[in-house]
Amino acid sequence: MLKPSLQVRLSQQLTMTQQLRQAIRLLQLSSLELRAEIQEAYESNPLLETEESNESETYAIKNGESEHADQFRQDIKPEPQPEESMPENQWDDFYEASYVSVSGSRHKNNDYFDYLETQDAADQDSLQNHLLWQLGLSSMSNRDLMIAATLVNALDESGYLQESLESIHSNLNHDIELDEIEAVLKFVQSLDPVGCGTRCLQECLEVQLQQVPDNTPFLAQAKSIVNKHLDLVGMQDYERLSIQCGYSEEEISNAISLIQSLHPKPGDLINTQISEYIVPDVYVERCEGVWRVRLNSDATPRLSINNVYSGMIKNLVNSEADYMRNQLQEARWLIKSVQHRNKTLLSVATSIVRHQKAFFEYGEEAMKPLVLKDIAKELDLHESTISRITTNKYMDSPRGVYEFKYFFSSHVKTKEGGTCSATAIKALIKKLVKEESREKPLSDSKIADMLKQKGVRVARRTIAKYRESLAIPPSNERRRLRK
């Protein structure tokens, strides 16, 4: 018979607090995403202020432009703040020390490092607006304008008409014939940029060649090649092209030059995409024989607690005081989370540079094998933390700007029993192909044998996989392309 009883048990349980969840989420944000996160928090939290807001407020006070600042200056007398309301700003630990060398020591540096700031490009008319504007200037009937507008709105970003005319016809009035749509499409294809509204690359190039003056040299040859042998042009098989067309080497060369002057994606001439610049999270420099790592102080704004509002909390009552205390706690959490993120980011970057010191000195061929577990073990962190902090983070070095994850690669065993990085093997393959004979390109088996002589044992199929990832054609195609 079951009886009720009391039992005492000990157990451990991990609870994800709000502060811990916020810290984990901030780890994986890029510098631009973090700035957006901070800006959103700043706009919603009166207790949080940034370096930019401090400067603007000081300027406003000096010029008598802030009524609230005058009121606070008159009503509130300066007095010592309680410990819980003191500003929690420790950014100097990360920025004022400037550099951390790979050996762990800090160095003072007063040099200013600037980076390319992202700027939104000016708003440009879309391809559809550009074409519709030209249609509005034409003398077409309302019926044809309606058809043309439907065709224009069906174009993709490159200017191609991916939808079939039959499908477009079914969506229009039933009294419109398919031949009418085909005729209007010809007119749309003649608009600027020429070639928009075509359905494939061959038709796009043919339409553009029709707009070329008839007295253009080698125009007839170019039209014939596009109409019948465009696939051979893509394969760059000019010897076979000469045999099938019956043109001389000079005619083919000039005809292809004319074809290459055309635009395979005419819509790209109008559609402008905003350039997204990479903002480096850390800088790596060599000074006095030591590699040093420094956080980019411009990547994230410096945060602090607003002294004025935090000092007002003790004078408030009821719901107002509770609201301000909650905002104060959230501001502290955000500051500590960002500080933790920057500290972890600097530690991981320093560890990466320490492991890949040979890369920064000699290049890709000296890259060493490195996995997340190596960094996690060294810094006593979890692999998931290393994965988050290396995602969308970039390092500016004398050799260029690299994502943190670039320095992690698998390893291949060497003849002596050591290991070699996959990145280093790719660099060796690239170097061997660059130095190979033009008449006798190296096969994958030959490259594997040459690497074996260097002490690196790599299978032929692995060489083929790495070669394809480098966009290097096989030996037979390289031989044909170099003729």
- Per-residue pLDDT at 65 exceeds 80: no
Q: What percent of the chain has pLDDT over 70?
A: 80
More confident: 121 or 223:
223
Strands 290-295 and 99-101: antiparallel
Q: Residues with Cβ < 8 Å from 247, sequence gap 6 or more?
A: 221, 241, 255
Tokens of 304: 């602090």
Is 280 a residue whose pLDDT tops 80? yes
**pLDDT tens digits for range 329-348:** 888 999 999 999 999 999 99
Across the strands, what pairs with 155? Answer: 161
Give the list of residues 6+ apart from residue 462 with CB closer than 8 angstroms, or none: 412, 448
- Does the pLDDT of residue 77 top 60, yes or no? no
For residue 241, give both structure tokens.
């092209």
Asked whether the beta carbons of 304 and 18 are under 8 A apart, the reply is: no
Count of H-run helices and E-run strands, the chain:
22, 10
Of 451, 215, 145, 235, nearest in space to 225 by CA: 235
> In the chain, how long is the greatest CA-to-CA distance?
107
Q: How far apart are CA 158 and CA 407, in angstroms?
A: 35
pLDDT at 481 over 60: yes
Examine the pLDDT at 72 and tell me if it is beyond 90.
no
d(CA 171, CA 166): 9
- Answer for the pair 221, 248: CB distance below 8 angstroms, yes or no: no
**Could you count the other beta carbons within 10 Å of the beta carbon of residue 242?**
15
Instruction: Please give the average per-residue pLDDT across 367-381, as a whole number.
Output: 91
Per-residue pLDDT tens over the stretch 241-266: 888 888 888 898 899 999 999 999 99
pLDDT tens for residues 388-436?
Answer: 999 999 999 999 999 999 999 876 766 555 678 888 888 888 889 888 8
Average of per-residue pLDDT across 138-161: 91
Where is pLDDT greater, at 93 or 79?
A: 93
pLDDT of res. 74: 34
* Structural domains for the chain: 16-47+76-121+277-405 (no CATH), 127-269 (no CATH), 411-481 (1.10.10.60)
Which pLDDT band holds residue 291 (cuts at 50, 70, 90)? very high
- pLDDT band at residue 87 using 50, 70 and 90 as cut-offs: very low
Main-chain phi, psi angles of 248, to 5 degrees: -75, 170
Please give the pLDDT value at position 148: 92
Q: What is the pLDDT of residue 23?
A: 82
E strand or H helix that includes residue 36? helix 31-44
Q: Give the pLDDT of residue 477.
A: 80
At 57 the pLDDT is 45
The reported pLDDT for the residue numbered 423 is 85
Flag whether pLDDT at 168 surpasses 60.
yes
* 470-481 exposure pattern, b = at least 16 Cβ within 10 A, e = fewer: eebeebeeeebe
Listing DSSP states for 437-470 in one string gives: -SSSPPPHHHHHHHHHHTTB---HHHHHHHHHHT
Q: What integer pLDDT is reported at residue 120 of this predicted model?
A: 37
Q: Is residue 109 pLDDT above 80, yes or no?
A: no
Residues making up the chain, counted from first to last: 483
Between 16 and 434, the higher pLDDT residue:
434
pLDDT band of residue 282 (cuts 50, 70, 90) is very high
Contact predicate 283/296, CB 8 Å: yes
472/429 Cα distance (integer angstroms): 10
Residue 95 in this model has a pLDDT that exceeds 60: no
pLDDT band at 86; cut points 50, 70, 90:
very low
**CA triple 76-81-85, angle to 5 deg:** 110
Q: What's the mean pLDDT in 12-24?
A: 75
Half-sphere exposure of 270 (CA within 13 A, CB side): 22
Specify the DSSP class assigned to residue 474. P
Residue 438 pLDDT: 81
Q: What is the mean pLDDT of residues 89-107?
A: 51
pLDDT at 276 over 70: no
